[in-house]
Amino acid sequence: MKAVVMTAPGDPGVLDCREMTEPQITAQGQIKVRMRDAGVNPVDTNVRERGLFLGNPPAILGCDGAGEVVEAGSSVEHFRPGDRVWFCHGGLGGAPGNYAEFTVLDERHAEPMPTGLSFEQAAAAPLVLITAWESLITQGRVDDGQTVLIHAGAGGVGHVAIQIAKLRGARVITTVGSNEKADFVRSLGADETILYRDEDFVERTLALTEGRGADLVYDTVGPQIFRRSIEATAHYGSLVTLLDPGPDVDWKEARIRNLTIQFTLMLTPWLRGLDDHWARQNEILRQCADWMTEGRLHVDVGQQMPLAEAAQAHRLIGEGHSRGKIVLIP
C-alpha cells in the first residue's frame, strides 16, 4: 500500500510517500479500514518537526481519518465490512497514523460516520470537534448569555469553536486576518469580528463588552496572544489555551482578575492510557454527529490534496493562513 512516512524529525521534506506492507488484524477486537481521506492537523506538523510522542521514526503520521471497514476481527460487535467509520487514532508514534491506504485499529476507537457526510468532511472533523468541545464545554463551561472571544476563528479549531459556542447560546467575538475570513466566520454565526492586522484585539474586545472583557477567551495561536488575552478576559472569567504560554506571562494581572486558566490537550487519553476519557471523547463525536446530521454543525474543508502531497499540506499549515481543514486523499 501507499503511505506517507516521517523518516526523521525535521522540515516537510522528511515526509516520504512510499510503498509499505499492508497492515493486518492482529487482535480479535480490531477492524481494518480502507482509508478514503485523512485529515491534516497542526499536531501532525508539530510531531513531524519536533519528534514523535512515542517511539522513533520511521512512522506514519495523521490522527484523523475516515473510510470503509474491509475486515473485522472475530470479537468485533459494532462494525462489519462495508460500514463507514470516522476516528481520531494513531499518528503520534506507536500506533500507525492515517496517511495511508489502509489502517488497523480497535473498534472501540472508531465511530459510525454521520449520515449524509462525505468522507472528506468526516476525515477533517474528529480532532477539531473533540478539541473545541473539551476547550469550550468541558474546560470553559461556556453557557447561554456569555461572551466568548475565539482567536483565529477561520482556522480548523476556531471555526468549529464558533459554532459550538453559538449552539450553547453564547455571543461570539472572533479574530480573523482578512475581510474574506470575516465573511466566512459570520456565515458560521460569529456576532463580531476583529481584523487583528488592523485593530488591537484587546481594545476592540473591551469596546464590544463595555469595558468588561469576554467571559471566556479561547487561545488557539500561542504565547504572545495568550499573554495579551489576559487583559481581554473579564474579572472572574476563564482563559483556555491549546498551547504552552511560555515563560513571560504576567501572572500577577491574571491573579488580580481572579482568572481561571485552563489547558486543553485532547491527546492526553492516548498518551496516558486513560480509557475512560477516550470513551468520553467518543461520546463527544456521537453528539457532534447528531448536530452535523441535523445541519447545525459544519466542518469546512478548505483543500483536498493527493496523499503524495502531504509535505505541501504541512507547508500550508505551517504558514498559518489556510482556512478550515486540509485533507489528503489516498
Residue range 213-219: mean pLDDT, rounded: 98
Q: Are residues 198 and 275 in the same domain?
A: no
| Contact (Cβ atoms closer than 8 angstroms) between residue 35 and residue 102 | yes
What pTM was computed for the model?
A: 0.94
Check which CATH number belongs to the domain holding 135 and give it: 3.40.50.720
If pLDDT is split at 50, 70 and 90, which confidence band does 323 have? Answer: confident
| Contact (Cβ atoms closer than 8 angstroms) between residue 305 and residue 328 | yes
DSSP 207-224: HHTTTS-EEEEEE-S-HH
Res. 297: pLDDT tops 80:
yes
Q: Are residues 106 and 224 in the same domain?
A: no
Residue range 284-309: mean pLDDT, rounded: 96
Res. 116: pLDDT tops 80:
yes
The pLDDT score that the predictor gives to residue 143 is: 94
With pLDDT > 90 as the criterion, what percentage of the chain qualifies? 94
What domain range is 149 assigned to? 128-263
Q: Are residues 187 and 281 in the same domain?
A: no
If pLDDT is split at 50, 70 and 90, which confidence band does 265 have? Answer: very high
Number of Cβ atoms within 10 Å of the Cβ of 21: 7
- What is the tens place of the pLDDT at every residue in 21-37? 999 999 999 999 999 99
| Contact (Cβ atoms closer than 8 angstroms) between residue 110 and residue 31 | yes
The overall average pLDDT reported for the chain is 96
Check which CATH number belongs to the domain holding 79 and give it: 3.90.180.10
Q: Are residues 141 and 59 in the same domain?
A: no
Q: Are residues 112 and 18 in the same domain?
A: yes
Residues 6+ apart with CB under 8 A from 222: 243
Q: Are residues 153 and 241 in the same domain?
A: yes
Q: Are residues 44 and 97 in the same domain?
A: yes
The pLDDT score that the predictor gives to residue 250 is: 85
Q: Are residues 56 and 118 in the same domain?
A: yes
Tell me the β-bridge partners of 85: 67, 112
Count up the domains in the chain and report the number.
Answer: 2
- What is the tens place of the pLDDT at every residue in 42-86? 999 999 999 999 999 999 999 999 999 999 999 999 999 999 999
If pLDDT is split at 50, 70 and 90, which confidence band does 303 have? Answer: very high
Higher pLDDT, 324 or 191: 191
The pLDDT score that the predictor gives to residue 321 is: 67
